[in-house]
Structure 1
Amino acid sequence: YNFPQGRVTDHRINLTLYKMQSIMDGEIDEFSQALTFAAQEEAVSGRGAA
C-alpha cells in the first residue's frame, strides 16, 4: 500500500487499485475476484501446487 497515493497493490497478481479508503472500509470484492480468477487460471494451466 501507499497512503500518499491512495494505492493498494497485490504484486502476486499484478493488480493496482487507487481506492485506499474504500479498501480500508472493507470493500475488497475487486481484490478477491482478481485473486480467485488468478487461482483458477493457475490451476487450469497446471502451475498450481499439487
Structure 2
Amino acid sequence: MNKQHWNWIRLAGDVPELVLIDCIQLAYQTVFMKLTKKKQREIAENRR
C-alpha cells in the first residue's frame, strides 16, 4: 500500500479542530483527484 500521502496525527488534545478538519479535507481531495472521472461523477452524484 502506498503511504506517500498518509497523514499521521497524534491526538492528545493539542491540535486545533480546524487543523484536523483541514488535514482530513486535503487527504480526501488528494485521493478524490486520483480517481477516474467516472468514479468522481459517481461519488458526486451520491453526495447530493
State the TM bucket, normalised to the shorter chain: 0.3 to 0.5
Per the normalisation by structure 2, the TM-score is 0.41
Structure that is richer in helix per residue: 2
Per the normalisation by structure 1, the TM-score is 0.40
The structure whose RCO (Cα within 8 Å, separation 6+) is larger is 2
